[in-house]
Copies of this chain bind each other. A is one copy, B any other.
């Protein structure tokens, strides 16, 4: 490749297709104790992107698609979410959305890799902007260890993890989910990113089999994410006692809709309607 050729950031899934983005400049590239952390500036509407071990985590241009969905869907189904735990999510986007709920008194961010937090604070300020909020407590720690001895502590737990490989692997086990369930207060809800329905069928099957063993309530919701494989993403909605859409906080929904690029009540309600092929993946017969 000559220097005059356009350079592309490419991420191809095992399915043989993926995303290509016009690359401008690598702003940050270091190997942490856990993974390769990179911030790349692009010549595209996506702006700067964060990658971990060469997998796209978030982009300035489309991050709201993910962060609004992981946070607001579970939180609107809780009557009074005061304490929130975010696992992973070192870029800060999920914390930013959580803190839009005026009921929240404390959000704990438990991120294993301090380098992710530092890189995002420096290079992705529109995403990491609330990490210095006094309501946010940052723990640079392995969430698997952190949660082992917790009980009845959180109203909401959001698992904003990488894929079920590398540092994120232990966040997709029955033991971990059992610890999460015990850490939830009555009425508590967990949501967890659960991969691409179009691309990661086997991973989804495996993950939901475990979740259904652990949680009495286990539902799935989906939404569009332009830069994730298949342009389509799923999240698990799990609880001991709260069915999705059984309670809906109208006041917070109205307030928060004003600050969101995606989220509104009608869009929220539509998230639990799944295509047939995903219903099949999730069915107990598969």
Say yes or no: is A231 at the interface (Cβ < 8 Å to chain B): yes
Q: Which residues of B contact A8 (CB under 8 A)?
A: 10, 12, 20
Closest 8 CB pairs between A and B?
A231-B231, A16-B44, A270-B270, A270-B273, A15-B45, A20-B20, A262-B275, A266-B273
Residues 1 to 49 of chain A near chain B (Cβ within 8 Å): 1, 8, 10, 12, 15-22, 42-46
Q: Which of B10, B16, B263 contacts A43 (CB 8 A)?
A: B16
Q: A269 at interface (Cβ–Cβ under 8 A)?
A: yes
- Identify the stretch in A93-101, A113-121, A136-144, A222-230 within 8 Å (CB) of chain B at 4 or more residues: A222-230
Per the bound structure, the CA–CA distance linking A61 and B282 in Å amounts to 20
Mark out the residues of chain A between 226 and 245 whose CB falls within 8 Å of any chain B CB in the assembled complex. Answer: 226-228, 230-232
Is A10 a contact partner of B17 (Cβ separation < 8 A)? no
A8 to B16, CA, bound (A): 10
A277: chain B residues at CB < 8 Å are 261-262
A227-B227 Cα distance, complex, nearest whole Å = 11
Cβ A17 vs Cβ B12 within 8 A:
no
Say which size band chain A's interface belongs to.
35 or more
Q: When chains A and B are docked, how far (Å) is the Cα of A62 from the Cα of B152?
A: 44
- Contact B227 A17, beta carbon cutoff 8 Å: yes
Please measure, in the bound complex, the distance between the C-alpha atom of A1 and the C-alpha atom of B2, giving whole angstroms: 9
Please give the distance in Å from A248's CB to the nearest CB on chain B: 14
Contact of A42 among B17, B43, B62 (CB under 8 A): B17
Within 8 Å of chain B (Cβ to Cβ): is A257?
yes
When distances are taken between beta carbons in the complex, the residues of chain B under 8 Å from A51 are: none
Give A113 to B78 CA distance when docked, in angstroms. Answer: 55
The residue on B at minimum CB distance from A266 is B273
Closest CB in chain B relative to A209 CB, distance in Å: 22
